[in-house]
């Protein structure tokens, strides 16, 4: 028999709560006594900002996790090979990119909000170099019978050929120069990039069955119409190897005024072994730094003749005697921007100064001074300030810099001779969002010929373009590209690799409203990597203590040692240093198995998955019968992998 309400209200004994008291008085009481959930943890995969900042979309977090030993390779595979496979899913040139990429990934790294970025480049270089030492190879896919012509053998063209062969499509690369590599081969000096290692990384792609035709200009030696008949698709990856002239009086038509691209190509092709006594370069980016650094290395020899001749005429090749008898040359760089705002990498600027180069920052060119013989004798300049991207001259600061050779390194353009029908008003090629050439079915485009940018940008273009080519040749409608368009970690692939594939789903079995135990489902996981990049505000940064960089060292010659110094400057890390550096990665957006959620859960609701059922991204799980929605696991998750949901 129930107690009457009136008696309950008048004959009270001890009561824990007063009428209307609906909230716990202390937060700790609420955690430990509450028995129903509002929001419970779910595991959310997001893209880390390093990968979101990488133009080729490498799974950086993935290969760092492999390097530090958290993500295990398949049985019988070394971690270095597994990291190589993960890295090269997006970019087949890890050895090269680890050396010369300006690393926007490091600028985006969330660790910058703790102390300093992770040395991603140094880890990538190590992975690439070990892959060459151990002879890791790429595998081609099963033959599809489809043929694609790739016009241009630079980073975009070679990366496209690699991705095409992985899909099983035949790829033929047409290259106008004698050697493959594009700007990697002809635009970057050998003390910054090992030409031997570059050749090995290129050969690894060719070994997949890529056909190559060098010394061929499509549009002149071969008609585009003939290419369209022979191939199922054409990818234009021409690059931009035509330098822009200086927009000042006296430049046009003056023979000893040359582009930085042409200057470096003459050196990198092995033809130019000495240059002018006084070289003045206008720029501020990495190309201009390369010009003045090369000048200091090859020096001056009067026996070489006019310095511009070897730049303009590809039939001229300096003999070794000219190199052996060269003396020091003066190299001066002028930049509109001050050193702290120049586009060149900071360490490249520092190295050039140590090598004896002169850098005049905050200086604008006014006029090329031309002598009676029609050759330039100097460059008139003045100090300037910058109004956004427009230089403002400072009156009364005009002066003339003496010069025997003036080099413009202020940008690059395309060479569209014979391909005028494809050229836009900037002498480049237009592309839609899927890297198709608008109005030209079967024609695709990638790399600098769309817009001059980084090597890794060209490689990223190639990957997307190949997906589009594959859709086109298989008559599959082009879908919308993901918001975060990178090479994402694939949990289903990882489960398959670990032998943990979900069981087949039978829709005739029982209640289908929800499950936390059935083996046909991947529980408690959501993949937002294609739409969200995780910021540092979503991480528990207090977990990470100060950990110093493992820095690569450089062998930079001083001004007295620089002549004929062609040894590679950058020294790679040792394996132990690579592993230590990889451990600095905060694994943003993916569990890195720290156990914080397990240790701090007040209800023992979060638990480690059994070892035989565990793999990357599936290290912990939640017992929702115990979870009280206290958010502690979310608050202590360093990587932002745990988000509160399931209760809304």
Same-domain check for residues 266 and 310: yes
What digits encode the pLDDT tens for the residues 27-57? 666 655 554 556 788 999 999 999 999 999 9
**Mean pLDDT value of segment 447-451:** 96
**Mean pLDDT value of segment 452-472:** 97
Same-domain check for residues 276 and 172: no
Contact 211, 170 (CB under 8 A): yes
Q: How far apart are CA 566 and CA 439, in angstroms?
A: 47
Same-domain check for residues 359 and 219: no
> Is residue 595 scored above 70 in pLDDT?
yes
31 falls within a domain: yes
> Is residue 381 scored above 70 in pLDDT?
yes
Name the pLDDT band for 505 (thresholds 50, 70, 90): confident
State residue 509's pLDDT score.
Answer: 65
> Is residue 16 scored above 60 in pLDDT?
no
**Mean pLDDT value of segment 297-320:** 95
Q: How far apart are CA 363 and CA 385, in angstroms?
A: 8
Q: How far apart are CA 224 and CA 174, in angstroms?
A: 12
SS3 state at 391: strand
How does the average pLDDT of the chain come out, rounded?
92
H-helix or E-strand spanning residue 365 = strand 363-370
Same-domain check for residues 332 and 256: yes
124 falls within a domain: no
State residue 523's pLDDT score.
Answer: 80
Give me the domain span that covers residue 435: 147-241+414-473
Q: How far apart are CA 616 and CA 491, in angstroms?
A: 8
State residue 508's pLDDT score.
Answer: 72
> Is residue 602 scored above 50 in pLDDT?
yes
State residue 625's pLDDT score.
Answer: 84
State residue 24's pLDDT score.
Answer: 62
What digits encode the pLDDT tens for the residues 565-594? 999 999 999 999 999 999 999 999 999 999
523 falls within a domain: yes
Name the pLDDT band for 562 (thresholds 50, 70, 90): very high
Same-domain check for residues 632 and 643: yes
> Is residue 318 scored above 90 in pLDDT?
yes
Integer CA distances (angstroms), 238 to 91, 206, 409, 445, 600, in order:
19, 19, 19, 9, 56
**Mean pLDDT value of segment 553-568:** 95
What is the domain count for the chain?
3
Same-domain check for residues 223 and 252: no
**Mean pLDDT value of segment 395-424:** 96
State residue 80's pLDDT score.
Answer: 98
Q: What is the dihedral of CA 267, 272, 276, 278, to 10 degrees?
A: 10
Q: How far apart are CA 181 and CA 194, in angstroms?
A: 12
Name the pLDDT band for 1 (thresholds 50, 70, 90): very low
Q: How far apart are CA 51 and CA 489, in angstroms?
A: 11
Closest CA to 335 of 265, 277, 385: 385
281 falls within a domain: yes
Find the range with the poorest average confidence among 10-24, 569-583, 597-611: 10-24
Any idea what the CATH number is for the domain that residue 360 is in? 3.50.50.60
State residue 631's pLDDT score.
Answer: 87
Encode burial over 495-531: b for 16+ CB neighbours within 10 A, e otherwise.
bebbebeeeeeeeeeeeeeeeeeeeeeebbeebebee
Name the pLDDT band for 5 (thresholds 50, 70, 90): low
SS3 state at 278: strand
Closest CA to 156 of 166, 144, 164: 164
Name the pLDDT band for 229 (thresholds 50, 70, 90): very high
**Mean pLDDT value of segment 146-172:** 98
Same-domain check for residues 271 and 397: yes
Name the pLDDT band for 524 (thresholds 50, 70, 90): confident
State residue 642's pLDDT score.
Answer: 94
State residue 479's pLDDT score.
Answer: 84
195 falls within a domain: yes
> Is residue 504 scored above 90 in pLDDT?
no
Same-domain check for residues 521 and 606: yes
Same-domain check for residues 290 and 257: yes
62 falls within a domain: no
Name the pLDDT band for 22 (thresholds 50, 70, 90): low
65 falls within a domain: no
Tell me what percent of the residues of the chain surpass a pLDDT of 90: 84
What digits encode the pLDDT tens for the residues 253-270? 999 999 999 999 999 999
Q: How far apart are CA 343 and CA 338, in angstroms?
A: 10
259 falls within a domain: yes
SS3 state at 122: helix
Name the pLDDT band for 317 (thresholds 50, 70, 90): very high
What digits encode the pLDDT tens for the residues 411-424? 999 999 999 999 99
Same-domain check for residues 418 and 386: no
State residue 17's pLDDT score.
Answer: 53
Name the pLDDT band for 624 (thresholds 50, 70, 90): confident
Of 396, 412, 428, the position where a domain reaches its end is 412
Closest CA to 415 of 545, 261, 281: 261
Query: How do the residues of the chain divide into helix, strand and coil, expressed in percent and rounded to 5?
Result: 30, 15, 50
Q: Measure the N-to-C terminal CA separation of the chain; round to a whole number of Å.
A: 39
Same-domain check for residues 340 and 191: no
Same-domain check for residues 442 and 501: no
């Amino acid at each position: 028999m129930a107690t009457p309400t009136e008696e309950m209200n008048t004959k009270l004994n001890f009561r824990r709560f007063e009428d209307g008291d609906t909230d716990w008085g202390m937060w700790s009481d609420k955690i430990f006594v509450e028995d129903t959930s509002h929001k419970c943890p779910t595991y959310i995969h997001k893209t880390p900002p390093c990968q979101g900042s990488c133009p080729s979309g490498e799974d950086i977090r993935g290969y760092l996790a492999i390097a530090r030993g958290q993500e295990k390779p398949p049985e019988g595979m070394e971690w270095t090979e597994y990291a190589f496979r993960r890295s090269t899913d997006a970019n087949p040139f890890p050895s090269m990119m680890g050396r010369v990429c300006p690393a926007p990934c490091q600028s985006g790294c969330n660790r910058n909000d703790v102390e300093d970025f992770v040395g991603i480049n140094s880890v990538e270089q190590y992975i690439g170099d070990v892959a060459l030492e151990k002879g890791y190879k790429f595998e081609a896919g099963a033959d599809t019978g489809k043929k694609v012509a790739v016009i241009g053998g630079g980073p975009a063209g070679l990366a496209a050929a690699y991705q095409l062969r992985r899909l099983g499509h035949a790829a033929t690369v047409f290259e106008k120069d004698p050697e493959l590599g594009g700007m990697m081969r002809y635009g970057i000096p050998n003390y910054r990039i090992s030409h031997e290692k570059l050749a090995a990384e290129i050969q690894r792609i060719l070994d997949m069955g890529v056909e190559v035709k060098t010394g061929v200009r499509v549009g002149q030696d071969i008609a585009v119409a003939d290419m369209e008949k022979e191939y199922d698709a054409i990818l234009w990856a021409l690059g931009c190897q035509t330098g822009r002239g200086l927009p000042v009086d006296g430049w046009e038509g003056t023979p000893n005024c040359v582009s930085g691209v042409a200057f470096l190509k003459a050196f990198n092709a092995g033809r130019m072994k000495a240059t002018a006594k006084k070289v003045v370069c206008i720029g501020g980016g990495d190309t201009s730094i390369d010009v003045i650094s090369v000048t200091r290395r090859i020096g001056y020899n009067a026996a070489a003749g006019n310095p511009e001749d070897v730049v303009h005429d590809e039939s001229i090749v300096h003999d070794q005697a000219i190199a052996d008898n060269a003396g020091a040359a003066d190299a001066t760089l002028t930049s509109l921007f001050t050193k702290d705002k120049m586009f060149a990498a900071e360490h490249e600027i520092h190295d050039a100064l140590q090598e004896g180069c002169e850098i005049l920052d905050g200086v604008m060119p006014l006029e090329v001074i031309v002598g009676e013989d029609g050759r330039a004798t100097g460059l008139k300049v003045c100090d300037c300030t910058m109004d956004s991207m427009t230089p403002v001259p400072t009156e009364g600061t005009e002066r003339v810099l003496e010069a025997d050779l003036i080099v413009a390194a202020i940008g690059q353009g395309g060479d569209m001779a014979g391909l005028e029908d494809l050229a836009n008003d900037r002498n480049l090629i237009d592309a839609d969002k899927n890297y198709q050439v608008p109005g030209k079915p079967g024609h695709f485009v990638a790399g600098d010929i769309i817009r001059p940018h980084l090597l890794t940008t060209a490689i990223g273009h190639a990957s997307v373009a190949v997906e589009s080519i594959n859709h086109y040749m298989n008559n599959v409608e082009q879908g919308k590209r993901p918001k975060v368009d990178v090479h994402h970690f694939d949990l289903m692939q990882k489960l398959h690799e670990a032998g943990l594939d979900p069981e087949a789903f039978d829709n005739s079995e029982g209640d289908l409203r929800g499950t936390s135990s059935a083996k046909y489902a991947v529980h408690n996981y959501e993949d937002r990597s294609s739409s969200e990049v995780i910021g540092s505000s979503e991480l528990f940064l207090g977990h990470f203590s100060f950990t110093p960089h493992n820095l690569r060292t450089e062998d930079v010659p001083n001004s007295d040692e620089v002549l004929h110094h062609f040894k590679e400057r950058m020294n790679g890390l040792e394996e132990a240093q690579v592993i230590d550096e990889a451990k600095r990665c905060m694994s943003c957006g993916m569990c890195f198995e720290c156990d914080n959620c397990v240790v701090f859960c007040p209800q023992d609701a979060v638990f480690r998955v059994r070892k035989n059922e565990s793999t990357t991204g599936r290290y912990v799980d939640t017992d929702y019968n115990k979870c009280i929605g206290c958010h502690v696991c979310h608050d202590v998750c360093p990587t932002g992998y745990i988000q509160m949901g399931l209760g809304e």
